[in-house]
Amino acid sequence: MSEIADGLRRGRCVPCEGGIAPLDPEQIRPLVAGLPGWQVVAGLLSRTFTFTNYYETMAFVNAVAWLSHREDHHPDLAVGYRECRVGYITHAIGGLSNNDFICAAKVDSLFDL
C-alpha cells in the first residue's frame, strides 16, 4: 500500500455543495499514481473490479453502498455478472475532489478483504 493510499484511507469526506474548484491535473496526478488500478478518463476516476461469481460481485456492491452512505459520497456503479466498475466524480463541482480519492482508497480496502 502506498503512503498516498494509506493517508487517503484514513481520511473522511467533507460535504461539498459546490463553490470550490475541482482538482487540477497537477493535483490529480500523484493521487492517481498512489491508487494502482484507478484511472481518470473523461474526468471520471474509475476502476473495474473482477470477481469469481455473481454473489461476490453483489457482496462487493453492497459493501460499496455501505461505505458510500457512511462517507455521504456516492459513486456511479456499473454491475455485471463477475465485475463492477466504480466511478467517482464530485457532481457539485463538475470535477474531481479529494472526496473522490478518499472513497476510491476505501473501496480498494474492501476489495483487499
Which domains, ranges and CATH numbers included, belong to the chain?
3-10+23-111 (3.30.1360.20)
**Strand, coil or helix: 4:** helix
What's the N-to-C CA distance of the chain in angstroms? 14
Closest CA to 104 of 16, 33, 20: 33
46-68 residue pLDDT tens? 999 999 999 999 999 999 999 99
Asked whether residue 73 carries a pLDDT value surpassing 90, the answer given is yes
Please classify residue 31 by burial: count the beta carbons closer than 10 Å to its beta carbon, then call 0-12 exposed, 13-18 middle and 19+ buried: buried
Helices 3-10 + 25-33 axis angle, to 10: 100
pLDDT digits (tens, 9 = 90+) for 92-105: 999 999 999 999 99
